Amino acid sequence: MLKLPVYLDNNATTPCDPRVVETMLPYFTEIFGNASSRNHSYGWAAEAAIDLAREQVAALIGADPKEIIFTSGATEADNLALKGVFEMYASKGNHIITTEIEHKAILDTCKHLEKLGAEVTYLKVDNEGLPNLIELEAAITPKTIMVAIMYANNEIGVINPIREISAIAKRNGVLMMSDITQAAGKIPVDVDRDGIDLAAFSAHKMYGPKGVGALYVRRKSPRVKVTSQMDGGGHERGMRSGTLNVPGIVGFGKACELSFQEMNAEGKRLSLLRDKLENALLQMEESYVNGSRTHRLPHVTNISFRYVEGEALMMGFNKNLALSSGSACTSASPEPSYVLKGLGLGDDLAHSSLRFGLGRFTTEEEIDYTIQAVTDTVNKLRDISPLWEMFKEGADMTEYY
Do 134 and 25 share a domain, yes or no?
yes
Give 302's strand partners. Answer: 355
CB neighbour list of residue 399: distance below 8 Å, 6 or more residues apart: none
Per-residue pLDDT, 330: 47
CA distance 310 to 324: 9
CATH number (domain holding residue 377): 3.90.1150.10
Give 147's strand partners. Answer: 97, 176
CA distance 96 to 106: 11
Q: Could you tell me if residue 250 is inside a domain?
A: yes
Do 229 and 90 share a domain, yes or no?
yes
Closest CA to 270 of 209, 186, 182, 195: 186
End of a domain among 258, 292, 315? 258
Q: Could you tell me if residue 364 is inside a domain?
A: yes
DSSP string, 62-124: T--GGGEEEESSHHHHHHHHHHHHHHHTTTT--EEEEETTS-HHHHHHHHHHHHTT-EEEEE-
CA distance 138 to 336: 30
Per-residue pLDDT, 328: 44
Pairing state of beta strands 287-289 and 300-305? antiparallel
Q: Could you tell me if residue 132 is inside a domain?
A: yes
End of a domain among 233, 258, 283? 258
Per-residue pLDDT, 401: 59
CA distance 106 to 180: 12
Do 284 and 223 share a domain, yes or no?
no
Do 131 and 275 share a domain, yes or no?
no
Do 304 and 395 share a domain, yes or no?
yes
Do 36 and 179 share a domain, yes or no?
yes
pLDDT per residue of the chain (401 residues) written in tens, 0 to 9 = 899 999 999 999 999 999 999 999 999 999 999 999 989 999 999 999 999 999 999 999 999 999 999 999 999 999 999 999 999 999 999 999 999 999 999 999 999 999 999 999 999 999 999 999 999 999 999 999 999 999 999 999 999 999 999 999 999 999 999 999 999 999 999 999 999 999 999 999 999 999 999 999 999 999 999 999 988 988 988 789 899 999 999 999 999 999 999 999 999 999 999 999 999 999 999 999 999 999 999 999 999 999 998 788 888 887 899 998 854 444 455 678 999 999 999 888 888 999 999 999 999 999 999 999 999 999 999 998 888 888 888 887 776 65
CB neighbour list of residue 389: distance below 8 Å, 6 or more residues apart: none
CA distance 345 to 336: 10
Do 155 and 69 share a domain, yes or no?
yes
Do 43 and 57 share a domain, yes or no?
yes
CA distance 34 to 8: 37
Contact indicator for 8, 300 with CB cutoff of 8 Å? no
Do 386 and 271 share a domain, yes or no?
yes
Do 95 and 193 share a domain, yes or no?
yes
Contact indicator for 401, 349 with CB cutoff of 8 Å? no
Q: How many CA atoms lie within 13 A of 297 on its CB side?
A: 31
CB neighbour list of residue 153: distance below 8 Å, 6 or more residues apart: 101, 129, 160, 182, 291, 339
Do 312 and 338 share a domain, yes or no?
yes
Contact indicator for 210, 203 with CB cutoff of 8 Å? yes
Q: Which amino acid belongs to residue 151?
A: Y
CA distance 20 to 44: 22
Query: Which amino acids are annotated catalytic?
Result: 329
Is 6 in a helix, a strand, or coil?
Answer: strand
CATH number (domain holding residue 184): 3.40.640.10
Q: Could you tell me if residue 1 is inside a domain?
A: no
DSSP string, 151-165: SB-TTT-BBP-HHHH
Number of domains present in the structure of the chain? 2
Do 88 and 217 share a domain, yes or no?
yes
Domain that holds residue 276: 6-12+263-400
